[in-house]
Amino acid sequence: MKISTDKLLLISSAILGLSLSGISQEHLRSQGEMVEEFTERERHDFLNREIPNRLVDNEGAKKAEYLNQSEFFLSELLMSGEVIYGDSISIYLNDVMARLTANSDDINENIRAYTLRSPVPNAFMTSKGILMVTTGLIAQVQNETELALVIAHEIGHDHEGDIERSIERTIDIEVNNRIYEGAEDGLSLYEYSQERELNADDFALKLMLESEGYNPINASAIFDVLLFSYLPFDDVVFPMAYIAPSRIELDLSKIKDIENDITAESDFDDEESSHPNYERRTERFFDYLLDADFEEDDYEHLSANPLGENRFKRIQRLARLDAIQRDLHERNYVRALYNTYVLSITDTALSDDAEKFVGYALHAIASYKVEYANYNNTPRKPGNEHENIFEDQNTEGKIALLDKFMETLTAEQALGLAIRYNYELHMKHPEDPFILENLNGNINQLIRLMEGSLDTYTNSPLGDTTSIDTLSEVEYENLSKIDKIRYDRQMSGSKAQDWSNSLLYEYAEDEILIALYEAQELLYSEDTENRSGLNEAEFRDLLSNLSEENDEYEDVNLGLREVHYLSPILYSFHIESRYSSDFKLERTMEFRERFERASDVALRAAGLRAETYYTSDFDDDEESTQKFNDYVVLREWFQERLSHVNTPVNNSLQARAIEIADRTGIDHLVVPTAINSSFKVNRFTSAVLMVVFPPSVFGLLDDLYKANDNSILVYFVFDLRSGNAMLINVREYEAFMHQDYLNQMVYDMVFQIGN
């Protein structure tokens, strides 16, 4: 197995994080007794019961396989942590649903609603009667009645059997490979779908009128809300003074001509759309009310928020905060920054959280800007090009100006903004480690990666733009590398011409800021000394050369005694080609059970006390809910670390990971992952990893693994308090090994963690 040493270093640097107090004290989590359908036991019982039944009923093998896989991945979604239960939003959704159905006897009583933590506005019903509503949708609707209409629409799909018909149609097309010939035959599929959507709209209004609990006129703008739901919470001018002192005249010349027109139209061409356009739906909305002899006077006593205006505002605030936090977690930093400003306009209680959101977003943006500077333009090795999160945003509305401004920032400008903002936050909240580590992280990048100093940002805004060369050639040659860079910049006049040069003018002699800088400079100096005087770029170049000379596997022993052991992230596929793979459900379930047994044997043999987070252990009680919430945090913490690859960005979930370490007394996390495939390929495909890792890590693991066989096993070990990666162990193994061989493989990996 050949593992590039610098690739492992890059992963390690990606997982560099420090103790943070956290972005927000308000976050959504499951509460109360664990819901049975969230447990793996219920999933196993259901699938073990349904798989033979479907075969007995002589449904086609492909159809049975399709249905079983659909239900499996629904269960995967329920267990992912993105869906939560017992929280205030889920309770609210079920209360709205109860009000809607109070006077209806023919509604499925088994429908239950859950919160789906996603910034994308959406709601959908599953074939099992599970209604999921995203925080992104709740963040966009204007009142409870609009939300109720969306919920009623989804109930309509369940009532009319649309979900089952949709599944049958999908199976007909995709599983049985039915080919629709000709334009008319193909378009009939869209017409079929659109008619069901319009009928669901009619049903929603019927249910709303029957309930006598909502005035449908209060929901008449819902289609406009949905039309523009891809935009931020509101479309307002973002004042640059929100992120920089007003005395700093930011260079906005590159964004003054930016076109930011909002292009969405209610009468869009829906000929090839599953949903009718919003103009048709709005007309149908009012036509239905006219045909139903709707009398507004009978409903005008009902407010837009029948369950209480304050309750709706609290629920929407939670949803918006979660949407912002999800955007930060998913690296949508500009959108999070913009929405934070929008929310802070009317929510004065948000001030402290808003400042943390902004400080973290600026910290992360600066970190990525430095990454794109290629560490002083050091060439990257092929296969390690980093995704640019600022390119091809195609944003509309007033956020486009902020997006373009951030895209055009240089690394030094972004660092200046981040250091200035977070230093002022640090002065305001000196005991908050989250703010301090964001600040220290950017100062470290300024020194280590940009080879700059605070002098870069302390020039007088009214200072001279001319400089006199007073050094002889000999004196110039005797300057250190960093001093030469500073002197050259001074001579070129760039220091005085760039608006970022005066960001820290009033802090030029600030003892606290200077002390923070000197502390990071000392760390870098000691690090450089350990590297025989090599700077960051030279050291990376050396590592690149060493990795080509020494790529042998090395045994290590971490000597840990206690660990959090995350449920193995395992899937089994038959890989047909680089771009095509076939998921194997029963082998995946068997693989997971066998791996958990092997893990238990190995952990005992290695003498490791392990807090295991096996999804199969969760039961329908409150203790399982606490453990489930911890599992969710640790899994998302792990995924966010991987998403940053080799960009040293602090983790937005670090505080919650540390809280788990404090409560359990266990400081280390082990995450085993595996891909089991039944066909040899030269390199794994993105399709295989899609359900395991965030998209940005595909290229990294693909580069790590030059497959000589067909499956891999990877063990990650982290220090939860520092965020550092302690071990990344990658092994090849045979496709579907015997249990004894699997036990030995897992034991070998676990042995390096303990002992």
How confident is the model over 416-428, as pLDDT tens digits?
999 999 999 999 9
Q: Poorest-confidence range of 160-164, 215-219, 569-573?
A: 569-573
Q: What's residue 288's pLDDT?
A: 94
Q: What's residue 714's pLDDT?
A: 87
Q: Is the pLDDT of residue 117 over 90?
A: yes
Q: Is the pLDDT of residue 316 over 80?
A: yes
**CB within 8 Å of 693: residues ≥ 6 apart:** 639, 642, 673, 701
| pLDDT confidence band for 727 (50 / 70 / 90) | confident
Residue 27 located in a structural domain: no
| pLDDT confidence band for 186 (50 / 70 / 90) | very low
Q: What is the DSSP letter of 381?
A: P
Report the pLDDT averaged over residues 625-645: 90
Q: Is the pLDDT of residue 731 over 50?
A: yes
Residue that the structure tokens 């020494």 belong to: 550
| pLDDT confidence band for 383 (50 / 70 / 90) | very low
| pLDDT confidence band for 380 (50 / 70 / 90) | very low
Q: Which residue has the higher pLDDT, 219 or 622?
A: 219
- Residues 659, 745 within the same domain: yes
Report the pLDDT averaged over residues 53-59: 53
Q: Poorest-confidence range of 382-386, 391-395, 613-617?
A: 382-386
Report the pLDDT averaged over residues 33-50: 75
- Residues 122, 94 within the same domain: yes
- Residues 340, 290 within the same domain: no
CB 352 within 8 A of CB 426: no
Q: What's residue 243's pLDDT?
A: 93
Q: Report the C-alpha gap between 202 and 181 in whole angstroms.
A: 32
Q: What's residue 734's pLDDT?
A: 62
How confident is the model over 63-91, as pLDDT tens digits?
777 777 777 888 888 888 899 999 999 99
Structure tokens at 53: 């039944």
Q: Is the pLDDT of residue 697 over 60?
A: no
Q: Report the C-alpha gap between 343 and 329 in whole angstroms.
A: 18
Q: Which of 549, 569, 597 is the last residue of a domain?
A: 549
Q: Which H/E stretch holds residue 566? A: strand 562-566
CB 724 within 8 A of CB 577: no
Q: Report the C-alpha gap between 207 and 406 in whole angstroms.
A: 47
| pLDDT confidence band for 155 (50 / 70 / 90) | very high
What CATH number does residue 594 fall under? 3.40.50
Report the pLDDT averaged over residues 127-148: 95
Instruction: Describe the chain by its helix, strand, coil percentages, rounded to 5.
Output: 55, 10, 35
453 lies in which domain range?
333-549
- Residues 269, 366 within the same domain: no
Question: CA Rg, the chain, in Å?
Answer: 28
Of 522, 523, 571, 555, nearest in space to 676 by CA: 571
How confident is the model over 435-482, as pLDDT tens digits?
999 999 999 999 887 788 888 888 876 544 444 556 777 777 787 766
- 119 three-state secondary structure: coil
| pLDDT confidence band for 175 (50 / 70 / 90) | low
Residue 273 located in a structural domain: yes
Residue 259 located in a structural domain: no
- Residues 399, 339 within the same domain: yes
Q: What's residue 9's pLDDT?
A: 31
CB 197 within 8 A of CB 220: no
Q: What's residue 737's pLDDT?
A: 59
Q: Report the C-alpha gap between 737 and 110 in whole angstroms.
A: 42
Q: Which of 549, 577, 596 is the last residue of a domain?
A: 549
| pLDDT confidence band for 303 (50 / 70 / 90) | very high
- Residues 534, 581 within the same domain: no
- Residues 370, 410 within the same domain: yes
Q: Report the C-alpha gap between 510 and 439 in whole angstroms.
A: 15
Q: Poorest-confidence range of 14-28, 99-113, 152-166, 358-372?
A: 14-28
Q: Report the C-alpha gap between 445 and 407 in whole angstroms.
A: 19
- Residues 607, 652 within the same domain: yes
Average pLDDT, the chain: 79
C-alpha torsion 226→227→232→235, nearest 10: -130
Residue 496 located in a structural domain: yes
What total number of domains does the chain contain? 3
Q: What's residue 364's pLDDT?
A: 96
Report the pLDDT averaged over residues 108-130: 91
- Residues 524, 640 within the same domain: no
- Residues 268, 401 within the same domain: no
- Residues 496, 592 within the same domain: no
Residue 100 located in a structural domain: yes
CB 116 within 8 A of CB 132: yes
How confident is the model over 547-578, as pLDDT tens digits?
555 455 566 788 899 999 998 877 776 655 54
Cα–Cα distance list, 569 to 42, 152, 596, 639 (Å): 19, 36, 11, 11
Q: What's residue 274's pLDDT?
A: 78
| pLDDT confidence band for 300 (50 / 70 / 90) | very high
Residue 26 located in a structural domain: no
CB 356 within 8 A of CB 24: yes
- Percentage of residues of the chain with pLDDT beyond 70: 75
Q: Is the pLDDT of residue 53 over 80?
A: no
Q: Report the C-alpha gap between 204 and 153 in whole angstroms.
A: 5
Residue that the structure tokens 């240089």 belong to: 410
Q: Report the C-alpha gap between 640 and 655 in whole angstroms.
A: 13
- Residues 378, 429 within the same domain: yes
Q: What's residue 108's pLDDT?
A: 86
- 550 three-state secondary structure: coil
Q: Which residue has the higher pLDDT, 170 or 79?
A: 79
Instruction: Count the residues in the chain.
Output: 755
How confident is the model over 512-532, as pLDDT tens digits?
999 999 999 998 888 766 666
Residue 325 located in a structural domain: no
Q: Report the C-alpha gap between 162 and 169 in whole angstroms.
A: 10
Q: Is the pLDDT of residue 340 over 60?
A: yes
Q: What's residue 560's pLDDT?
A: 92
Residue 478 located in a structural domain: yes
Q: Which of 317, 341, 356 is the last residue of a domain?
A: 317
| pLDDT confidence band for 704 (50 / 70 / 90) | very low
